[in-house]
Structure 1
Amino acid sequence: MKVETGTLKPGEARCPAESTQDIIALDRVKAPSWAASENYEYLGSEDISKSRYVDPEFARGEFNRMWSRTWQMACREEHIPEVGDYYVYDIGQYSFIVTRCDDDEIRAYFNACLHRGTKLKPSGTAGFAMNLKCPFHGWTWKLDGSLKEIPEKWDFAHTEGRNMCLPEARVARLGGFVWINMDADAPSLEDYLGEEALSHLKAWKLEDRYIYLHVQKSYPANWKLTMEAFMEAYHVGDTHPQVAPANGDVNSQYDVYGSHVNRFISTLGVVSPKLRDKYSEADIIENFTLGDSSSLGGTKPKLKEGERARQVMADMFREMFETATNADLRNVSDTELLDTYSYTFFPNLFLFPGISLPMIYRFRPDARDHRRTIFEVMFMRPRPRDGSAVETAEVQILGDHQSFAEAEGMDPGFGIILDQDTDNLFAQQEGIEASAKPGLTLADYQEIRIRHFEQAIDRYMAMEPKLPDMKELQRK
């Protein structure tokens, strides 16, 4: 409903079309409570300072104040299914060996020898080892972190009585993810996420999925700019025009939950409100099918009189996914089958819990260049119902010149969408550095996730620097 100009308070303006909740309320199989809700909060209209994206001192402050205090997803439990399996998680200059040291115990050790500091395991690796041995001089630790051996121990009598256990980050397990935090004084993961966001995460049962495709690419842009490119649907019309005929972009829904979680819901199977004079319900079907290479196997359903294209698509997706997964999806809502649900878990994790494209995005700053970001895309699918073992995908690392569409197993159409966002990032990083304007101007509603995210950054940047304390992080 349109409202006369000047009668709205800041943050109240919305696209003059049906809302996301109006759209999903018409679905045949109704949405669960975590989807059929709204939680927007107006957080101000001030510009965001550009210095946070271009100043190397700001980046150094993030490592000393923010990364050392926050909960981060280090890996999935299926990355380390057996005792002795390990996965190395790097965040800037910090590095951790996340290892399963017992059937139901996972620990995360700072990846540095206590002798002369050599990394115990190379960055970006995973594998199996029943001991953690330094490749330089052979100092060795057991999986429980206790010191096993010092070669030529007679020359280190002065270490007797010292605590020589490997320092540990805190570990929490939730949703099939292994989370770590370097700060011994940080709140629990549950308190950090907050009750409502935690209830959403538990409802998705992501522990019942596994990663079948993992692709990584480095971007020439600050990590925050790279994340923010995926926080709104405002850019869809100009950046991804090929999807607009079947995407409710400008009437997407935006929500914030506490200090560390936000989301948007973008509906599919509807025409963008900006294009309703150009496209019909039948055009939505055409856009989804895209010939013989469509996600629906080349089928082109016919709309009956009065039918919604969105409902036809939901019914077809349900049938397709039931066949593919040998599962009964009668009670899974239409919105879970069709729509994009994107959650940001501060500082660097996106979760997409939908049925049609369940994904994980992870963003990590390059410690050597504040203008570069390591971006990972991981695709999930349900675990086999018979409980058989799954093989978690190894990461494919693309070069700067490569398209995401080149990754083995990547849907070419989705790869192109990721490439389109990449092109924007090239221009945005360079434009911000060239700009005479000292800040970035954000929409009150459609870009609320960016403001929420940057305000969280500001809260940590206002704290005193806090580097990991080895005495606090070594087990007694």
Structure 2
Amino acid sequence: MTMAAEKTQPGAARCPADSTQDIIARDKVAAPGWVRSESYAFLGDGDVSTDRYIDPDYAKGEFERLWTRTWQFACREEHIPNVGDYSVYDVGPYSFIVTRVGENDIRAYFNACLHRGTKLRPSGTEGSAAEFKCPFHGWSWNLDGSNKNILCAWDFPHADREKFRLPEARVQVLGGFVWVNMDPDAPSLEDYLGPEALAHIKAWRLEHRYIHVHVTKSFPANWKLTMEAFMEAYHVLETHPQVAPSNADANSQYDVYGDHVNRFISPLGVCSPHLGGQYSEQDILDQFTVGDSSMLGEGRPKVGDGTARQAMADMFRARFSQATNSDLSAVSDSEILDCFSYTVFPNTFLFPGISLPMVYRFRPDPRDHRRCIYEVMFLRPVPKDGVRPSPAEPVVLTDEQSFTEADGMDPGFGRILDQDTDNLFAQQEGLEASAKHGLTLGNYQEIRVRHFERAVDKYMALPPKKPCLHR
């Protein structure tokens, strides 16, 4: 620890190089207010217990206390554009048929027949239906959840069809995302997110994007451990050394909002402070574009009298405008270039920037607390003609496959995801072998991990709450 760090208050120490806000302030096209804001809070420095990652009873408690009370991204509106369209969302042992009942009416039915419990639709499926019929005994329900038919109704005088409506989870739509919550007593999605984070999400207008690549893969690591691998840039120098010359890793900014949202901003086009003085502005630009012929045009771009960051912003703006048939002239350099990562507790990451316009979703494996399902969805702006393309079908990778094998995946980014997930295998095994029963976190660079685990603790301190009938 440096002498400067010793004199600061806990959580006040920062990388001595330019801050994220210093870097963004020099951009040619200025950033909006949501980019220029900061919201850090010191949340303590005690170790985080490792039981939450390795104890199967802890995972059981999460299904009873956490997943039944939180807002979760179930599907995009473009998955269910027409009345009768549905998408099945599964999380752990729970399953929902998310369906469009009317133009502005989306519902999420618990995916189970009220006769003997058979799933009405297979896990992970999408389609269109006029009814939801049980494949076992033929009981059926209308789109609005009302009971349509009980086969041999004469044998069920005790089953009041008016009371045999499909139970519903709560549903809200924000930013083109359909969110569900099993708890009838939970706060609204707006209150859950809080005013500042809500204002950010609304400013992105993500309802005007669509999923053009969707990749899913199962991992032999706990869902929380997997999520936390993507919550900080502290690992970049060791795990992704190839990107450090053009990634301001230690300069990244970290923010927390209420109980359920946090973010980082990681600037691109600026050399890592760990490599200070080793690279010229042209070196930084060359490093970023090496091996990518789509960026080169008739020759490798030149910095000239400017900076690598500005050259990259100009190049990306032109490239993405053409690729998406969109006008990005008014979009800030920071939104064009930088990595903005927002975690919406418990299992969604939103990346609203233009260079990395993505969504991550993580779900626990209900049968093995050491495994989880990780999804990457790339978003594109809806074309200027307003015609929204259909969302991409998921590409499912096996454990052995590289992310680079997924159709539509940028090879360079696929390698980065492979590097991240290689660490996870070793981390899960290491935690189970360790004599130390806690994670020691940095006060600033790993604040998102601490903030996330505080939210986990909040829900795990509550009594079990099973899904119940509410309409």
Q: TM-score, normalized by length of structure 2?
A: 0.98
How far does residue 322 in structure 1 lie from its aligned partner after superposition?
2.1
- In structure 2, give the amino acid aligned to 1:98: V
Aligned-residue offset at 1:89: 0.1
After superposition, the C-alpha distances for 1:225-257 in whole angstroms (9 at most, x for unaligned) are 000000000000010111000000011000000
Task: Determine whether 1:304 maps to 2:304.
Answer: yes
Report the counterpart of residue 329 of structure 2 in structure 1: 330
**What amino acid does structure 2 have at the position aligned with 1:337?**
I
Contact 2:324–2:382 (8 Å) recurs in 1: no
Residue 184 of structure 1 deviates from its aligned partner by 0.2
Superposition deviation, residue 102 in structure 1: 1.2
Partner of 2:181: 181
When the two chains are superposed, the root-mean-square deviation of aligned CA atoms in Å is: 1.2
Give the conservation status (yes or no) of the 8 Å contact 1:249–1:266: yes
Where does the alignment leave 5 or more consecutive residues of structure 1 unmatched?
A: none
Residues 353 and 183 (structure 1), Cα distance of their counterparts in 2 relative to 1, 3 Å cut: same
Report what 2:24 is aligned to: 24
Tell me if 1:446 matches 2:452: no
Aligned ranges for residues 91-240 of structure 1 at < 5 Å?
91-160=91-160, 163-240=163-240
Matched, 1:407 2:403: no
Structure 2 contact 118–134 (Cα < 8 Å) conserved? yes
Matched residues in 2 for 1:298 and 1:139: separation?
64
Contact 1:40 1:255 in 2 (8 A): yes
Q: 1:236 to 1:297 in 2, by over 3 A?
A: farther
What number of residue pairs does the alignment pair up? 470
Q: Which amino acid aligns with 1:144?
A: D
**How many Å separate the matches in 1 of 2:220 and 2:298?**
37
Match of 2:253 in 1: 253
Shift, 1:8, TM fit: 0.4
**Equivalent position amino acid for 1:196 in 2:** E
Contact kept, 8 Å, 1:292 with 1:299, in 2: the verdict is no
CA-to-aligned-CA distance 1:346-381 (integer Å, 9 cap, x gap): 000000000122000000000000000100000010
* TM-aligned CA distance change 1:296 to 1:3, over 3 Å: farther
Quote the Cα distance in structure 2 between the aligned partners of 1:299 and 1:320.
Answer: 15
- Equivalent runs, 1:411-422 vs 2, <5 Å: 411-422=410-421
Secondary structure (helix, strand or coil) at the match of 2:87 reads strand
Change in Cα spacing, 1:416 to 1:19, as seen in structure 2 (3 Å) is same
Counterpart-to-counterpart distance in 2, 1:339 and 1:257: 20
Counterpart in the other structure of 2:357 = 358
Q: Given that residues 271 and 280 in structure 1 are in contact (C-alpha distance below 8 angstroms), is that contact kept between their aligned partners in structure 2? A: no
Q: For 1:293-334, what per-residue CA distance to the aligned partner results, in whole angstroms no more than 9, with x for missing partners?
A: 3545574222224x2111111111112222223333222110
Q: Give the Å deviation of 1:387.
A: 2.0
How far apart in 1 are the matches of 2:297 and 2:359?
25
Structure 2 Cα separation of the partners of residues 35 and 339 of structure 1:
10
Give the secondary structure class of the aligned counterpart of 1:107.
strand
The 2-side partners of 1:62 and 1:45 are apart by 24
Partner of 1:386: 385
Give the match's secondary structure for 1:288: helix
Q: Which amino acid aligns with 1:385?
A: K
Distance in 2 (alpha carbons) for counterparts of 1:389 and 1:32: 26
2: CA distance between counterparts of 1:40 and 1:292? Answer: 36
Q: After superposition, give the CA deviation of every residue in 1:116-157 in whole Å (9 maximum; x if it has no partner).
A: 000000001101111000000000000000000011111111
Do 1:362 and 1:375's aligned partners in 2 also have CA atoms closer than 8 Å? yes
Aligned to 2:464: 465
State the 1:160 CA deviation: 2.9
Displacement of 1:289 in angstroms is 1.1
Once residues 152 and 84 of structure 1 are traced to their aligned partners in structure 2, the CA distance between those partners, rounded to angstroms, is 26
| 1:7-27 Cα distance to aligned partner (Å, 9 max, x none) | 101000111111000000000
Give unpaired runs (5+ residues) of structure 2.
Answer: none
The question of whether the paired residues in 2 share the 8 Å contact of 1:288 and 1:294 is answered with: no
**Structure 1 counterpart SS, 2:183:** coil
The one-character-per-residue Cα deviations of 1:403-440 (angstroms, maximum 9, x if unpaired) are 01000111111111100011100000000000000101
Deviation at 1:5, TM superposition (A): 4.3
- 2:470 matches 1:434: no
SS in 2 for 1:67: coil
> Structure 1's 159 and 298: CA in aligned 2 closer, same or farther, altered over 3 A?
farther
Percent identity, aligned pairs only? 68
Tell me the distance in 1 between the aligned counterparts of 2:297 and 2:427.
37
| AA at the equivalent of 1:15 | C
Separation of aligned partners in 1, 2:387 and 2:78: 13
> Is contact 1:86–1:127 with CA below 8 Å preserved after alignment?
yes
Shift of 1:283: 1.1
Deviation, structure 1 residue 3? 6.7
Task: Give the corresponding residue for 1:15.
Answer: 15
SS at match of 1:465: coil
Give the secondary-structure state (helix, strand or coil) at the position aligned to 2:74: strand
> What is the Cα deviation at residue 37 of structure 1?
1.1
Distance (whole Å) between structure 1 residues aligned to residue 208 and residue 152 of structure 2: 48
Instruction: Classify 1:298/1:46 alpha carbon distance in 2 versus 1 (closer, same or farther; 3 Å).
Output: farther
- Say if 2:325 and 2:383, in contact at 8 Å, map to a contact too: no
CA–CA distance in structure 2, aligned partners of residues 50 and 390 of structure 1: 44
Q: Which amino acid aligns with 2:349?
A: F
- SS of the equivalent of 2:66 reads helix
Alignment check: 8 A CA contact 1:209 1:380 kept = yes
Most deviating of 140-149 and 313-322: 313-322
Give, in whole Å, the separation in 1 of the partners of 2:440 and 2:456. Answer: 17
The alignment partner of 1:158 has SS state of: coil
Closer, same or farther: CA 445–135 of 1 in aligned 2, 3 Å: same
Give the whole-Å Cα distance in 2 for the aligned partners of 1:189 and 1:278: 47
In the alignment, the residues of structure 2 paired with residue 311 and residue 448 of structure 1 have an alpha-carbon distance, to the nearest angstrom, of 30
Distance, in Å, in 1 between the alignment partners of 2:294 and 2:44 is 42
